[in-house]
Amino acid sequence: MFDGLKDKLSGFRKDVEENADVDGSDERDDADADESDAASSADAPAADSDADGAGDSVVTPETDAGDDAGDADPSTFQRAKAFATGRIIIEEEDLEEPLWDLEMALLESDVEMSVAEQILDTVRETMLGESRKQVDTTGELVESALHDALLDVIAVGQFDFEERIAEAEKPVTIVFTGVNGVGKTTSIAKLSEWLDERGYSSVLANGDTYRAGANEQIAEHADRLDRELIAHDQGGDPAAVIYDGVEYAEANDVDVVLGDTAGRLHTSDDLMAQLEKIDRVVDPDMTLFVDEAVAGQDAVNRAKEFNDAAEIDGAILTKADADSSGGAAISVAYVTGKPILFLGTGQGYDDITLFDPEELVESLLGEE
Ligand code: GDP
């Protein structure tokens, strides 16, 4: 999962380390040179002892270093001092090229432009700023800067889904939006199973009355999982189907109603009108947007579009198992202001995991 992006992030770490090392080894060379100058100066009097006399020709390393520092510009002096005391100083010029490469890498990985810029700003600030963390090596500094920058954008709006379900008055109604073919129906079935494993019963309601075959598609999952399915004929009113789902849940003590909706209607006005009606009639506790991680930038754009049409509470990203770029996983929360709640990680009903931003960041930065 997200292997392409992992490689690119570790490329940035190496870039900065190399740049900083070049500078570091310059300093080291200077320091070595000073020492050998000093050593040869110290040796010299012995060889020339009958000329000027030892006292005059001895140049101590301290004096030599002091002179060098006096000649150098202040930042070089600062850097030399930092090097001597083991602290890390990264200068803007050290970062210029690696940051450019990082931006390209993020964009190539389908990270949305504003998200990539935000990540770069945080990395730059963390690495150059006064408030720089105390770390031992350049590698650690890069790691902590990238960690903070990624977490900042990925964890936007994050909340505890399980807690929300536990605390909500039952039945909890969840409506799913998103285009067809991305794994919306499968995700509803997976979530039904996920809830079952945590002791919550659920009923499926097929609010996608628009598409031919939609009832059969969701009925197959309901049969396999042995769940009740509420469905009306094609062309029926989606709000009425989900309403019936809520009634069924209330009458039968079912904890959660999982309501599908049509993927996309003719215009976003139709879509909005339909979702608005569902809002009015059943007042869902949550609206979750489903899309596939592999769609990258398209998934990010759709998330924004759906959120604008009818505000979502969170997202499910499917097919993360097949996604190497990671761009959608990084961008969706920042762009919509709503968190990713689950990742779909395969075709089985168990292949769904709660989204954990910290875990994702650690895996993106992990050495493998
Ligand atoms: P819908 O039209 O959006 O309802 O899409 P479906 O639920 O029918 O899923 C479309 C295809 O994607 C099916 O073959 C699913 O098995 C597959 N799919 C769904 N979720 C995942 C996932 O997380 N990983 C993988 N690899 N395939 C998935």
Tens digit of pLDDT at every position of the chain (368 positions): 899 899 889 888 888 878 766 554 444 444 444 444 444 444 444 444 444 443 333 333 333 444 444 455 555 665 565 555 556 667 788 888 899 999 999 999 999 999 999 999 999 988 886 545 556 677 888 888 999 999 999 999 999 999 999 999 999 999 999 998 999 999 999 999 999 999 999 999 999 988 888 999 999 999 999 999 999 998 889 999 999 999 999 999 999 999 999 987 667 778 888 888 999 999 999 999 999 999 999 999 999 999 988 899 999 999 999 998 999 999 999 999 999 999 999 999 999 999 999 999 999 998 54
Q: 79: helix, coil or strand? A: helix
Residue 367: the pLDDT is: 53
Rounded Cα distance between 270 and 272, Å, is 5
CA of 22 to the centre of ligand 1 (A): 49
Pocket-testing residue among 187, 347, 353, 355, ligand 1, by greatest number of atoms within 8 A of Cβ: 347
- CB 230 within 8 Å of CB 204: yes
Domains and CATH numbers, the chain: 3-154 (1.20.120.140), 161-356 (3.40.50.300)
256 contacts 220 by C-beta, under 8 angstroms? no
φ/ψ of residue 210, rounded to 5: -85, -40
Backbone angles phi, psi at 352, to 5 degrees: -145, 135
Residue with the nearest Cα to atom 11 of ligand 1? 183
Nearest residue by C-alpha to atom 2 in ligand 1 = 181
State the pLDDT at residue 268: 73
Residues 110 and 296: beta-carbon distance below 8 Å: yes
| Alpha-carbon gap, residue 222 to 188, rounded angstroms | 10
**Prediction pTM value:** 0.82
What pLDDT was estimated at residue 88? Answer: 61
Contact 68, 30 (CB under 8 A): yes
Q: Please give the DSSP secondary-structure letter assigned to residue 169.
A: P
Two structure tokens written together for 47: 């060889």
User: Phi-psi bin for 90: left (phi > 0), alpha (psi -120 to 50), beta?
Assistant: beta
Whole-angstrom Cα Rg for the chain = 30
Type and span of the H or E element at 355: none
For residue 317, how far is its CA from the centre of ligand 1 (angstroms)? 11
Q: What is the pLDDT of residue 77?
A: 61
pLDDT at 43: 43
Q: Helix (H) and strand (E) counts for the chain?
A: 15, 8
200-211 residues labelled b (16+ CB within 10 A) or e (exposed): bbbbbbbbbbbe
Helix, strand and coil in the chain, % to nearest 5? 60, 10, 30
pLDDT value at position 17? 79
Residues having CB within 6 Å of any atom of ligand 1: 180-186, 318-319, 321-322, 344-347, 351
Specify the pLDDT at position 139. 80
Q: Which pLDDT value is given to residue 143?
A: 87
Distance of CA 185 from the midpoint of ligand 1 (Å): 7
Q: CA-CA distances (angstroms) from residue 153 to 6, 116, 297, 306, 364? A: 16, 9, 16, 20, 14
Structure token pair of residue 28: 């080291």
What integer pLDDT is reported at residue 83 of this predicted model? Answer: 56
- β 229-230/256-261 pair status: unpaired
